[in-house]
Amino acid sequence: MERNTGYHVAVVGATGAVGEQMLKTLDALEFPISQLTLLSSARSAGKKISFKDEEYTVQEAKPESFEGVDIALFSAGGSVSKLLAPEAVKRGAVVVDNTSAFRMDPNVPLVVPEVNENDLHDHNGIIANPNCSTIQMVVALEPIRQAFGLKKVVVSTYQAVSGAGHLAIDELKSQAEAMLKGETVEPKFLPVKADKKHYPIAFNAIPQIDVFQENGFTYEEMKMINETKKIMHMPELKVAATCVRLPVVAGHSESVYIEVEKEGVSTDEVRTLLSQADGVTLEDNPEEQIYPMPLLAEGKPDVFVGRIRKDLDEDRGFHLWVVSDNLLKGAAWNSVQIAWSLVKQDLLTRKN
Amino acid sequence: MERNTGYHVAVVGATGAVGEQMLKTLDALEFPISQLTLLSSARSAGKKISFKDEEYTVQEAKPESFEGVDIALFSAGGSVSKLLAPEAVKRGAVVVDNTSAFRMDPNVPLVVPEVNENDLHDHNGIIANPNCSTIQMVVALEPIRQAFGLKKVVVSTYQAVSGAGHLAIDELKSQAEAMLKGETVEPKFLPVKADKKHYPIAFNAIPQIDVFQENGFTYEEMKMINETKKIMHMPELKVAATCVRLPVVAGHSESVYIEVEKEGVSTDEVRTLLSQADGVTLEDNPEEQIYPMPLLAEGKPDVFVGRIRKDLDEDRGFHLWVVSDNLLKGAAWNSVQIAWSLVKQDLLTRKN
């Protein structure tokens, strides 16, 4: 095969909210594609999707769908990944998996290119894409860790419904419409489709994302805690999270309190550092009311950081406000960045 | 005058969002009223308001409006309080002021009855009602402080628009309506009417409440920090706050991280303590998805606490989720509670 003609890429979950953004991102990042295979559950198979002026018919994902595939981007739920990612690897594909299925597997690198791109060298066919709320936080924290050390993180999240898929977006919009008319609503989807109870999200804040664990934290909170330690290679880092769903369509926000190792660091030093950091856009000018907001972050691949303040009591304490489009850097953009990095570092199974 | 026939009560800012709730609360708490005077700015004077089946005409607030008034509940902005509260005191009234005008004045008690009711004994005519987001937090923290000591508080807020008045509620609703139709919106009010820039609140989260201070914190954040120390009589307490406005009509939520003095405290001990605490309703059963939410707290006077978790790294660290209707316990309800306590403790200037 001629070099550089491109790669056979498969997108699993192509009809979902993240899959949609993956296709946009493959286009935006000019990923070299020789062949594109769009896969989904049996239920969504047959749908038509356009990519670069060509129409594709979505096929049901099966083990044999991955014959000849070089890179498979998975975002169709953990159970699909558990079943089909090994099948894709068996057939020579490298999998970038956007579910939580393999994230904590010690044999699977969990990668945010700005933070731990080198971990890609240890891959065994599967690379895990971290949880959306984790990704944007570690992009903001890694430059600080490198410069000043990092001891402790306490994060409270303000998460958009798009992280829960198209159905959740529709639910927010239809509930908002009904409630504005004074009608009652019957929640069916949020906070977790498969959980026992459902609550309205419009004009509300729900302190539950994903299901509860035995320790009283939600799975989303434990993802942030465990994934942050793994990505930053800091099992000893103190991390705590409270994750909250908001009536916001797209863009997660995070109020992050950190304690660094170094004494005497100033707010301006943190600002300067982040203004030069990979993947970060500093939006921090209180005098001009410049700070990140989800409505402004939607559709952009950057991690926006602002409201940087040194704590008034703790010399090593700092507060940050971190916002990013959870479907982009939090999911699709990071996955395609990983795929590009695999290409550039010549880490695919089949060399093109 | 015969004892117990009631008091001459004045409500300043009677047409506002808080004033409206003050009247409802005076009614709900069966406050003994012999005469009611409803006051406002010149702009709102002349409006008619019903209270207990009687119609009142709102009058423009002037120094002489307070002749004969026993208790004046102020909630018409700091500048009105600064001008007229001393005039009311001069005429023999005791003022319960819901603005920030006198809160940090060392001669003015800043009172949440569940926490520091005794401070009322030191009043000199004016008692300050704390900021809404402060009140609900200290109601939840005081029982913990008493039992286990308190060293550190880091809070991130999720605040409703009703705290910014009727105009902000209207702005949220009209923006949501327009955005659902795909129309563009022109924000005019939030985050701060008098500030330079305005941002949409519908489907957004704005990390600015009140104006920025020189230290990079907003005034709302500094209110939470300074008022908490004053109410709890703990100038040495470490407190940090990040305050965020949400597209929620009523009900502030708070993600609170604390560190207590005592070692070895369990989550269940904190739960038991709060289940018995004055003014607190415990809503904390992860298995049954029971936790506080603003939509459920609206119209109720309690402070709801849930999502209580011991930190996974810090033995003395705990996380709480605290929700309350900011117009009730956060404003009107607390003010009327203070007035009732003044009556019961015989602390009014004119004895009835």
DSSP B159-202: B-GGGG-HHHHHHHHHHHHHHHTT------SSS-TTSS-----T
Q: Would you say residue A158 has pLDDT above 50? A: yes
CB contact under 8 A, A205 and B246: yes
Could you read off the pLDDT of B242-282 as tens digits, one per residue? 999 999 999 999 999 999 999 999 999 999 999 999 999 99
Please tell me whether residue B82 adopts helix, strand or coil conformation: helix
**Cβ(B92)–Cβ(B126) below 8 Å:** no
pLDDT at A351: 59
Chain A residues lying within 8 Å of B204, measured CB to CB: 248, 293-295
CB contact under 8 A, A312 and B240: yes
The mean pLDDT value for B59-83 works out to 97
| A218, amino acid identity | T
A245 annotated binding-site participant: yes
| Residues within 8 A of A (CB atoms), B 114-133 only | none
In Å, how far is B5's CA from the nearest CA of chain A? 41
Angle A17-28/A333-344 helices, nearest 10 degrees? 40
Chain B residues lying within 8 Å of A244, measured CB to CB: 158, 253, 255
**Residue A22: which H helix or E strand, with range?**
helix A17-28
Rg (CA), chain A: 20
| Residues within 8 A of A (CB atoms), B 34-63 only | none
- CATH number at B134-325: 3.30.360.10
At residue A122 the predicted structure's pLDDT band, cuts being 50, 70 and 90, is very high
In Å, how far is B2's CA from the nearest CA of chain A? 47
B3 annotated binding-site participant: no
Burial call B36-48: b when 16+ CB within 10 Å, e when fewer:
bbbbbbeebbeee
CB contact under 8 A, B158 and A253: no
- Does B153 touch chain A if contact means CB atoms closer than 8 Å? no
The mean pLDDT value for B105-115 works out to 98
**Cβ(B70)–Cβ(B90) below 8 Å:** no
Q: How many CA atoms lie within 13 A of B103 on its CB side?
A: 27
pLDDT at B5: 80
Could you read off the pLDDT of A7-42 as tens digits, one per residue? 999 999 999 999 999 999 999 999 999 999 999 999
Q: B252: which 2 tokens?
A: 């502030």
Please tell me whether residue B63 adopts helix, strand or coil conformation: helix
Q: Which CATH number fits domain B7-130+331-344: 3.40.50.10320, 3.40.50.720, 1.20.58.220, 3.10.20.600?
A: 3.40.50.720
Kindly report the number of other CB atoms within 10 A of residue A180's CB atom: 16
Over chain A, what is the mean pLDDT? 96
Where exactly does CATH 3.40.50.720 map onto chain A? 7-130+331-344
**Which of A343, A262, A345 has its CA nearest to residue A6?**
A343
d(CA B119, CA B112): 9
pLDDT at A2: 43
In Å, how far is A193's CA from the nearest CA of chain B? 13
* Residue A186 dihedral angles phi and psi, to the nearest 5°: -120, 95
Please tell me whether residue A243 adopts helix, strand or coil conformation: coil
Residue B203: Cβ-neighbour burial (10 angstroms; 0-12, 13-18, 19+): buried
Q: Would you say residue B2 has pLDDT above 50? A: no
Rg (CA), chain B: 20
CB contact under 8 A, A312 and B191: no
Where exactly does CATH 3.30.360.10 map onto chain B? 134-325
pLDDT at A5: 80
Q: Is B252 a catalytic residue?
A: yes
Q: Report, as residue numbers or ranges, the catalytic residues of A.
A: 132, 252
If you search the block for the tokens 């999720």, which residue do you land on?
B158
CATH topology of domain A134-326: Dihydrodipicolinate Reductase; domain 2 (3.30.360)
pLDDT at B3: 47
- Does B306 touch chain A if contact means CB atoms closer than 8 Å? yes
- Does A306 touch chain B if contact means CB atoms closer than 8 Å? yes
**Which of A206, A188, A299, A191 has its CA nearest to residue A244?**
A206
**Which of A91, A37, A29 has its CA nearest to residue A63?**
A91
Q: B110: which 2 tokens?
A: 């800043």
- Taking phi first (over 0 means left), then psi (-120 to 50 degrees means alpha), and beta for anything else, what does residue B3 get? beta
Q: Would you say residue B4 has pLDDT above 60? A: no
- CA distances (Å), origin A280, targets A138, A140, A233, A273, A304: 11, 7, 21, 10, 6
d(CA B134, CA B230): 11
If you search the block for the tokens 């709302």, which residue do you land on?
B220
B326 annotated binding-site participant: yes
pLDDT at B295: 97
Kindly report the number of other CB atoms within 10 A of residue A269's CB atom: 16
Could you read off the pLDDT of B197-246 as tens digits, one per residue? 999 999 999 999 999 999 999 999 999 999 999 999 999 999 999 999 99
The pairing of beta strand A252-259 with beta strand A317-324: antiparallel
